[in-house]
Amino acid sequence: MIRVLIVAAYASVRAGLHALLADAEDVAIVGAISGSDELEPLLADDPPDVVLFDDNEADGARVLEVMSGSEAGLVMLGDDRRDYRRLAGLSLHGWPYLHGWAYLLKEADGLEIAGAVRAVAAGLVALDRSLVQLLAAAAPPTQEDRAAVAPLPGAALTAREREVLQLMAEGLPNKQIAARLSISQHTVKFHVASVLAKLGAASRTEAVTLGARRGYVTL
């Protein structure tokens, strides 16, 4: 079951999104809140698998900031077909690093939203079909763009990445790390990839060694 938290400024929008997902048997709505002030403690205490966010000018930037440290994927509903670049740019520069995200227009129907939720929960990226022409017309990536895809070695590890690295140092495989931290193996896999990239390590053993030198783990 995919646990979804709805974030929308207006009660009518929250109710509408809840209704659109009512027929999705593999989706469970775990809450519906108005904005970032309520979102932050929920992500810290019991993060959902996916946040379904109806973007708005007043709180949009803050919601994305709060999401930056979360393991939850994001389905964002917006008005501007070019706004998907906000998420793409954040993704390229470290958020949501290898986590799933989606950008749909606000007129998306229930099937489209449910499909995006499933894709994001699986760690994929999904875009509104109307964005295909924009993508086709986009300029090819430069060498600098390609270099920006991976985080630079030396970038600070998040609190969750430090936990994963410590358990790697204890010799635990992904399955046991997932059980210990109560997260999916899929999420563990992405955290491990992020740790290796940030430390500039070619293997788990090298990551543990480098992490110990930098004070991230205790051997």
Stretch (H or E) spanning 51: strand 50-54
CA dihedral in degrees (164, 212, 214, 174; nearest 10)? -20
- The reported pLDDT for the residue numbered 57 is 76
- The reported pLDDT for the residue numbered 69 is 67
Burial of 3 (0-12, 13-18, 19+ CB in 10 A): middle
Of residues 134 and 55, which shows the higher confidence score? 55
d(C-alpha 99, C-alpha 119), whole Å: 11
**Strand pairing of 50-54 and 73-78?**
parallel
- The reported pLDDT for the residue numbered 202 is 85
d(C-alpha 187, C-alpha 109), whole Å: 28
**Spatial CA neighbour of 121 closest among 51, 53, 73, 161:** 73
- The reported pLDDT for the residue numbered 51 is 94
pLDDT band at 133 (very low <50, low <70, confident <90, very high): low
Instruction: State yes or no: pLDDT of 141 exceeds 70.
Output: no
Model confidence pLDDT, tens digit, residues 144-194: 444 444 444 556 788 888 999 999 999 999 899 989 998 888 788 888 888
Please list the residues that pair with 76 across neighbouring strands: 53, 103
d(C-alpha 129, C-alpha 132), whole Å: 6
pLDDT above 90 as % of the chain: 34
Question: What integer best gives the mean pLDDT of the chain?
Answer: 82
Model confidence pLDDT, tens digit, residues 49-64: 999 999 987 888 888 8
Distances (CA, A) of 16 to 19, 52, 133, 219: 5, 12, 29, 51
d(C-alpha 72, C-alpha 63), whole Å: 12
pLDDT band at 99 (very low <50, low <70, confident <90, very high): low
d(C-alpha 5, C-alpha 219), whole Å: 38
Distances (CA, A) of 45 to 38, 88, 209: 11, 27, 31
pLDDT above 70 as % of the chain: 80
Is this structure's pTM higher than 0.85? no
**Spatial CA neighbour of 210 closest among 149, 168, 160, 158:** 168
Contact between 33 and 42 under an 8 Å Cβ cutoff? The reply is: yes
- The reported pLDDT for the residue numbered 159 is 85
Say how many CA atoms lie within 13 Å of 95 toward its Cβ: 16
For the residues 98-113, what does the mean pLDDT come to? 86
Instruction: State yes or no: pLDDT of 135 exceeds 90.
Output: no
- The reported pLDDT for the residue numbered 124 is 86
Model confidence pLDDT, tens digit, residues 34-49: 998 999 888 878 889 9
For the residues 211-218, what does the mean pLDDT come to? 86
CA dihedral in degrees (205, 203, 125, 65; nearest 10)? 50
Domains, the chain, with CATH or none: 2-146 (3.40.50.2300), 159-213 (1.10.10.10)
